């Protein structure tokens, strides 16, 4: 029987892990493509994405308090909806977030050494996997340092952008509802990091209180920060220039007359990508560990290091998978595929939350209902190639689940 993970993380640690995932995953990458479809209505797209994320956060927090163990919606789906739905949630999370890990590693490489992204990305994956192997508490300390530095950089961008004047563009175009939804779907990628808090449920102290506090706090801080950045960037560059920018935050400080900050912003982007990658590897490895413990992935991954109290085999397996994907991945394709998998994951979380009773901490029904509808709607706005690839991966997973039922019946999960 596998020993449990050690509960070492407090509320501040949990909030920091979520912040490092959300801030690094989105603010330096998602604004330009979102502006390309939402135009001047980028703030509205951000509000839609934030609203869906809030519903998901409430549902996830209530479920995580009820089931404080590693695995997130993989566990909630199994407990509330049945084995297949739990597996599909875990499968979508592992597949989608492995792609997201590759995207963050490539983003880091692109900011640090353009033209040499892949080798540097592989080195980053190896280094952060090693850090996670040293213990989750050390990872949380590193995340806190990274978050502090990135927040300082983003606040500098906001101040420079707001002080540098506004873009002398024309009037606001009529609302393009489809463009706003497309923009929200892309921006949702930036909010998905709070899942990392729930997947660490088995390593958080007093999870029934800590997780419901940490998830809304991390999401609220991120939403406020993103709104400030959106106003500064959109106001300085205008929709067209923002949409075509490869480095919108760096272009913002340059256009605002603070070009001396450009190098700092690029360094902050690289650091943010590292912070996101650190938290992503941490979360994916915990879901992989939980699925191995449930015999939905190879049982050899169901092991905890006696020295550091971490699922070391799952962490190594995730690191190897991400490094391999980095060598063949396309950045935009990885982001689209990741978004599809994560939206399906949260749709299952919201349906699971609908089954909670009042004495189990059930949220108001409108919250998970809105979350399900929002997730499915935003998933439908993603590029067709991402939707097709996502559906194909889920179909393969479902077939694998059907084929593995006999194996799981012979070796039921322990615990």
Tokens of 409: 């019946």
Select from 107, 275, 311 the least CA-distant residue to 203. Answer: 311
At 295 the pLDDT is 78
Tell me how far apart the alpha carbons of residues 403 and 401 are, in angstroms, rounded to a whole number.
5
b/e burial code for range 276-309 (CB count within 10 A of at least 16 → b): bbbbbbbbbbbbbbbbbbbbbbebebbbbeeebb
b/e burial code for range 331-347 (CB count within 10 A of at least 16 → b): bebbbbbbbbbbbbbbb
CB 107 within 8 A of CB 271: no
Tell me how far apart the alpha carbons of residues 42 and 35 are, in angstroms, rounded to a whole number.
6
CB 288 within 8 A of CB 317: yes
Tell me how far apart the alpha carbons of residues 19 and 194 are, in angstroms, rounded to a whole number.
7
CB 73 within 8 A of CB 63: yes
Which residues, at least 6 apart from 221, have a Cβ–Cβ distance to it below 8 Å? 15, 19
At 1 the pLDDT is 42
| Matching residue, tokens 């977030």 | 97
Tokens of 365: 């029904």
| Matching residue, tokens 């604004």 | 31
b/e burial code for range 216-251 (CB count within 10 A of at least 16 → b): ebbbebbbebbebbbbbbbbbbbbebbbebebbbbb
| Matching residue, tokens 């209180």 | 209
Tell me how far apart the alpha carbons of residues 293 and 314 are, in angstroms, rounded to a whole number.
11
Does residue 64 sit in helix, strand or coil?
Answer: helix
Tokens of 71: 């695995």
Tell me how far apart the alpha carbons of residues 9 and 20 are, in angstroms, rounded to a whole number.
15
At 236 the pLDDT is 92
| Mean pLDDT, the chain cut into blocks of 10 residues (415 residues total) | 57 74 71 88 93 90 78 86 91 86 83 81 89 65 74 90 68 78 86 66 68 80 90 91 84 90 87 80 81 79 75 87 85 79 93 93 93 94 86 91 72 51
At 58 the pLDDT is 87
Instruction: Give the orientation angle of helix 11-26 with respect to helix 207-244, to 10 degrees.
Output: 20
Domains of the chain (ranges; CATH) run 11-403 (1.20.1740.10)
């Amino acid at each position: 029987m596998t020993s449990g993970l050690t509960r070492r993380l407090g509320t501040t640690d949990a909030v920091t892990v979520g912040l490092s995932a959300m801030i690094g995953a989105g603010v330096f990458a998602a604004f330009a493509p979102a502006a390309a479809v939402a135009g001047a209505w980028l703030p509205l797209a951000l509000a839609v994405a934030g609203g869906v994320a809030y519903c998901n956060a409430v549902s996830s927090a209530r479920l995580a308090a009820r089931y404080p163990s590693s695995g997130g919606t993989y566990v909630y789906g199994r407990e509330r909806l049945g084995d297949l739905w739990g597996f599909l949630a875990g499968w979508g999370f592992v597949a989608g977030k492995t792609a997201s890990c590759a995207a963050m590693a490539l983003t880091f490489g692109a900011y640090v050494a353009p033209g040499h992204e892949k080798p540097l990305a592989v080195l980053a994956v190896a280094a952060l996997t090693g850090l996670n192997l040293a213990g989750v508490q050390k990872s949380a300390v590193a995340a806190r340092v990274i978050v502090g530095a990135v927040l300082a950089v983003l606040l500098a961008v906001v101040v420079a952008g707001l002080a540098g004047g506004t873009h002398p563009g024309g009037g606001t175009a009529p609302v393009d509802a489809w463009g706003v939804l497309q923009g929200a779907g892309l921006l949702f990628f930036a909010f998905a990091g709070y899942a990392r808090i729930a997947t660490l449920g088995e390593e958080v102290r007093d999870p029934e209180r800590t997780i419901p506090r940490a998830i809304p706090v991390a999401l609220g801080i991120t939403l406020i920060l993103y709104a400030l950045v959106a106003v500064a960037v959109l106001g300085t560059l205008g929709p067209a220039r923002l949409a075509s920018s490869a480095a919108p935050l760096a272009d913002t400080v340059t256009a605002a007359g603070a070009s001396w900050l450009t190098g700092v912003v690029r360094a902050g982007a690289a650091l943010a990508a590292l912070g996101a990658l650190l938290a992503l590897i941490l979360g994916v490895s915990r879901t992989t560990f939980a699925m191995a413990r449930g015999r939905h992935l190879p049982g050899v991954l169901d092991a905890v290091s006696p020295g550091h109290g971490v699922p070391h085999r799952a962490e190594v397996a995730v690191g190897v998978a991400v490094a391999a994907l980095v060598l063949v991945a396309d950045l935009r394709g990885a982001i689209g595929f990741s978004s599809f998998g994560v939206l399906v994951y949260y749709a299952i979380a919201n349906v699971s939350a609908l089954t909670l009773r009042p004495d189990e901490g059930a949220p108001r029904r409108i919250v998970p209902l809105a979350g399900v509808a929002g997730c499915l709607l935003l998933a439908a706005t993603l590029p067709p190639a991402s939707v097709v690839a996502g559906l194909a991966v889920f179909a393969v997973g479902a077939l694998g689940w059907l084929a593995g039922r006999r194996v799981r019946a012979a070796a039921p999960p322990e615990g």
